[in-house]
Structure 1
């Protein structure tokens, strides 16, 4: 088991998909030589600071033909975004504000313009970079434009190590490893220790979807993994009125937290936005409360804090709605979106005031389909969280939960910060309390 850098205990990410964020893809025309769109992201860093996050998790920024996940040159900034100077500026502006920078690396497969793929038909050494043989190379999940690398080739191993080290030396603080589940665990277990030898403070989070996250993290030497199980349970339990599903996922989550700090989220660039996913708009608050009171490393997808909506569709261009262009800050918000913004700021602030939540376990104290009270605890520190999605109020004496008096910390309907001996939550509301 690897030990993540200490700074990760305080990490809260703001995730940005650069090509969409700056209007580089899809685009009517390619960027001109004088355009430096990557710098537009830095214009939003003060917004990120006001939100309360500690780092910016960037989507793909390297040269590609289309959406960024068909990398053609891992050493080159995508010309649609800018150049090396723009990357250096972005990192410097982030670090000047105390923000970490996470890069998105696609090392399972490459795009059609990748140099070794172009050379493979007439160069045996280049052909060995890929699985299969020229004309019949393996592709990623049936996408003919995504060519799977041969992770058993020592040249591929050294290439990936060198790419990671190169950008860490340029100022990045870590890597998200796209489609990490598709590459052999032995490959990652060979690559990552070599990178850590050079950059022991770097953090590596794997994109995993299904399976035994903890076992994969251990075997592959990752620091973290994307917690899709919890993401699904959050929105599904709210839509279905089935907190038993959420509680089951929370129990699984406890096991993961014992082994590593999972990357938790209720939105990212690959899924419908939480405001569109949930059937009742007020339940965005319930989802956010769960995200920011459970163990792990939380991530906010840029725009969710502004109440943006967007549905991912299974078709060509189906991601565009969840990867929109952002204009110049500050954003113009209607009253409902202001409430979403303020709720994000408050709950992120609560998270930062209680850094022990990074390693917290949850325990159900009261559970039925539409009402859920759980304790989130690490050592002597604890909070009580009550979620109510029923049409009737939730009221339970703290003594029945084997909890003493508690002070209301936050909740719907702006409850006063009073000391209470019972949890009382209006229909479709929520509360967070602290033991006194």
Structure 2
């Protein structure tokens, strides 16, 4: 047994509370090195005076998947008095070890102080994302390109809708009225949450260069129209999440203009990270920015006045307009102390508000219950696209990647992770899939059948194309003859299945089958559902696990009854979802 590969710490994704009574414990071991993992556990104060030893129990752990290097094991435990000492008994055919905080032993230590400690399950420390999020299907709208419903507020030199390819500088007049006009379309699609990219007054068409955080950009409408939009969404059961750009402002943000004008005498000089005076606003700028963009000066969120201002902004849009969530742009470059205060402020107003961070890498430091509820799950995105679209990894590598991402977070986080295949920052999924809708359907099926909260980038449901920004920001195609109606029907069905079957929305019982993976087919089960995905340009017959032989099921796409035999044949680029009935 390779001791160096065995890892546990009593914190983060390895030990966490899932509710006020229950704790999850996870351990990592070398892949295929351990056949059985058992939790040794007990109350730290339970002592057998006669035997002069700590009183402990055992509970079998469940194999929770593996990546290319490690196996992961998970167990759920409810300590009677909400406190816990624990260790692990690890067994294979040749060895058995006891793993504790003080190291490895052949025999179980008798003293509780040798073991890992979960001191007390305090309810205030339990990770608590809003209950509604895991059941939500999101739709991301880039407001300038969704629909033009009020031409009277078009910005100067607005182009006819879709008359040119998108650029970083052109405008087509998308606005709030256009969104209102198409809410029934979103409702019929099955959407229950809208994520808007920034709507506040800004210079650009993307609005990530904020001028005034407390005003709506006039090209989108006014506050009255926005309030009507929120109300219309809520009447249809659709939540609304706004985009907060608190890492940086725009060039024309009045405090930054004041610094440019007055230099070191400006009362706002400490609102930004100025290296020296006079301020040099050309590239390379002599102040910190988003990336290397001089028109997006980085805000100093450690400054009290900046913090007070931004927290006022966060409160305002909740109190005045009843928004349901904040998506936080470039969230990983803002200090943790600010986000902790942010969470306290917004949750004090609306306890069920969703807080989503834009982070593209491992995000555990932000997901401990004191900052964000979830992040944009781009690590999951990359795995799906690498397998189905780029085809640079094989089936085993996809399965390994999914398990690695899953086991890097608590399951309570996984339940609300923001899962997506594309956004305003990436090429469209149909474009990266060589414009093969068959491959997009496979990717959407996997996305929608995993725990988390899935998001559709506007237009992907009708097979719109678009390369990297600005190509991915085309005008929404509203002429039905130019929409892929087959793709739209597919997405409506997939969303409906996700809402109908709880197993789509949970990773409970998730298991991938390696025999199918050897044939480059993805086969996985969750509870009473079996999923099969074939990315190959040929039909293929695959073996089913023995326990399926003779079982009856329903094909959820066709509602036809199925009787399983030893194998099943899946069409080229095919997908199937079966619900067991026996």
CA contact (8 A) 1:398 1:405 kept: no
How do residues 28-427 of structure 1 correspond to structure 2 at under 5 angstroms? 29=157, 37-66=175-204, 67-121=206-260, 122=262, 123-133=265-275, 134=277, 135=279, 136-169=286-319, 170-210=321-361, 212-218=362-368, 221-238=371-388, 239-240=390-391, 242-255=394-407, 256=409, 258-260=411-413, 261-279=416-434, 280-312=436-468, 319-326=469-476, 331-333=479-481, 337-361=484-508, 362-366=510-514, 367-368=517-518, 370-375=520-525, 377=526, 381-400=527-546, 405-410=551-556, 416-421=560-565, 422-427=567-572
Gaps of 5+ in 1: 313-318
The Cα shift of 1:257 comes to 5.7
Residues in 2 aligned to 1:253 and 1:75: alpha-carbon distance in whole angstroms:
37
Change (3 A) 1:397 1:54: same
Change (3 A) 1:97 1:38: same
Structure-2-length-normalised TM-score: 0.67
Higher relative contact order (CA closer than 8 Å, sequence separation 6+): 1
The Cα shift of 1:100 comes to 0.6
The Cα shift of 1:220 comes to 5.8
CA contact (8 A) 1:38 1:90 kept: yes
Residues in 1 aligned to 2:540 and 2:546: alpha-carbon distance in whole angstroms:
13
The superposition leaves residues 283-324 of structure 1 with CA deviations (integer Å, 9 ceiling, x where unpaired) of: 111001001101101001110001111111xxxxxx232112
User: Which secondary structure state, in structure 2, belongs to the residue aligned with residue 125 of structure 1?
Assistant: coil
Change (3 A) 1:365 1:402: farther
Residues in 2 aligned to 1:406 and 1:151: alpha-carbon distance in whole angstroms:
59
The Cα shift of 1:244 comes to 2.6
The Cα shift of 1:354 comes to 2.0
Residues in 2 aligned to 1:321 and 1:248: alpha-carbon distance in whole angstroms:
32
Structure with more of its chain in helix, by fraction: 1
The superposition leaves residues 391-424 of structure 1 with CA deviations (integer Å, 9 ceiling, x where unpaired) of: 443334544366872524345xx58343434433
The superposition leaves residues 311-370 of structure 1 with CA deviations (integer Å, 9 ceiling, x where unpaired) of: 11xxxxxx232112236x5x41458x1110011000100111124533325321132362
The count of aligned residue pairs is 417
Residues in 2 aligned to 1:165 and 1:420: alpha-carbon distance in whole angstroms:
56
The Cα shift of 1:44 comes to 1.3
CA contact (8 A) 1:257 1:296 kept: no
Residues in 2 aligned to 1:406 and 1:186: alpha-carbon distance in whole angstroms:
55
User: Which secondary structure state, in structure 1, belongs to the residue aligned with residue 424 of structure 2?
Assistant: coil
Residues in 2 aligned to 1:20 and 1:46: alpha-carbon distance in whole angstroms:
18
Residues in 2 aligned to 1:404 and 1:184: alpha-carbon distance in whole angstroms:
57
CA contact (8 A) 1:408 1:417 kept: yes
Across the aligned residues of Structure 1 and Structure 2, the Cα RMSD in angstroms comes to 2.5
Structure-1-length-normalised TM-score: 0.88
Residues in 1 aligned to 2:556 and 2:290: alpha-carbon distance in whole angstroms:
45
